[in-house]
Amino acid sequence: MDRDKCNEKKSCQNCEESPRCSHEEKEAHEQRLLDERMSRVKHKFMVISGKGGVGKSTVATNLAMTLANEGYEVGLMDADIHGPNIPKMLGIEDERPGASAKGLLPITTIHNLKVMSMAFFLQSKDDAVIWRGPLKHGAIKQFLGDVYWGDLDYLIIDLPPGTGDEALSVAHLLKNVDGAIVVTTPQEVALLDSRKAVTFTRQLKVPLVGIVENMSGFNCPHCHTPIDLFKKGGGERASREMLIPFLGRIPIDPEMVSCGDSGISLFSRPGHEEVKSAFTNICENWRKLLEGKSGVRKTQSAQVT
């Protein structure tokens, strides 16, 4: 492709002065810009789940916050185009990204955490995004290539539940995703779908970092008796059977729901040590794998914990 044809600091899509670029040239140009942007991100991870409601976005958000609290530069990309919840969970749903010569500016929230989501572009919170695959692919391409993320230690990409277009787009556009974290709840119906998510990830050749078992046990706030609302240990068992590391379990904490609904971080509330240390442990296990590098780049065959 002739690099001089268009202004390469901008995406061809917005490049009025380059009408001569063919469709293929524009595609190549956009991919090159995306690659350049993403080369400034040290580690890119996808957070996936087999079904909705297992706490995938909650886990993605809290992992991002835990890493940001530890001083890392973190980006959190909400790739759930139809149901973008992350801005609501972070209390930034009324923000609107600005534009600069370098690209679209993500919303910077607490502690070096930058966020991009479809929710920022909806006129009303009740608006539905009714898009087919190619439009969603375009949006994800823009989130990766047109957003000015800057230098990041981690980019965490929260994908919609299931094995659809969005994960395909991310894997196709990024090519070198460091890995996928699978979030599940312990009961059999959730595990069945999680296995599909694992198979899907393997087919995409995205390395599996590990499984997080969310909503794993609950301590009665009155008598402190442990109650296994959705059973316990299913995620760990599945990780053994599928030869994927088990990253850790997060108990049910009703405060997680009120925090998510009101856009407040659980980490800013006193107490809730069990949940807070669960996230810290998961990050710790994850980091161990990352440091072992081979553990991140290829499918695991051993348990971490």
Return the SS3 of 125.
Answer: coil
User: Which one of the spans 21-29, 46-54, 137-145, 235-243 is the region binding ligand ADP (CB under 6 A)?
Assistant: 46-54
CA distances from 67 to 41, 75, 230, 251, 261 (A): 14, 10, 28, 20, 22
Within 147-206, which residues bind ligand ADP (CB under 6 A)? 161
Q: 265: which residues sit within 8 A by CB, 6+ positions away?
A: 62, 65, 90, 110, 259
User: Which one of the spans 56-64, 162-170, 189-197, 204-212 is the region binding ligand ADP (CB under 6 A)?
Assistant: 56-64
Q: How many residues bind ligand ADP (CB under 6 A)?
A: 18
Pairwise CA distance, residues 152 & 165, whole Å = 25
Is 52 a residue that touches ligand ADP (CB under 6 A)?
yes
Pairwise CA distance, residues 193 & 141, whole Å = 27
Within 78-137, which residues bind ligand ADP (CB under 6 A)? 85
Pairwise CA distance, residues 263 & 106, whole Å = 18
| Minimum distance of ligand ADP from residue 286's CB (angstroms) | 17
Cβ(245)–Cβ(198) below 8 Å = no
Region of residue 203 (left: phi > 0; alpha: psi -120 to 50; beta: else): alpha
β-pairing, 246-249 vs 208-213, is: parallel
Closer residue to ligand ADP (CB): 97 or 162: 162
| Minimum distance of ligand ADP from residue 43's CB (angstroms) | 21
Is 41 a residue that touches ligand ADP (CB under 6 A)?
no
Pairwise CA distance, residues 240 & 52, whole Å = 23
Pairwise CA distance, residues 282 & 304, whole Å = 10
* Residue with smallest beta-carbon separation from ligand ADP: 55
| Minimum distance of ligand ADP from residue 124's CB (angstroms) | 20
Within 238-297, which residues bind ligand ADP (CB under 6 A)? 250, 252-253, 256-257, 260
Is 57 a residue that touches ligand ADP (CB under 6 A)?
yes
Name which position in 55, 106, 207, 235 contacts ligand ADP (CB under 6 A).
55
Name which position in 53, 71, 98, 133 contacts ligand ADP (CB under 6 A).
53
Closer residue to ligand ADP (CB): 12 or 282: 282
**Binding positions for ligand ADP, rule: CB under 6 A:** 49, 52-58, 85, 161, 214-215, 250, 252-253, 256-257, 260
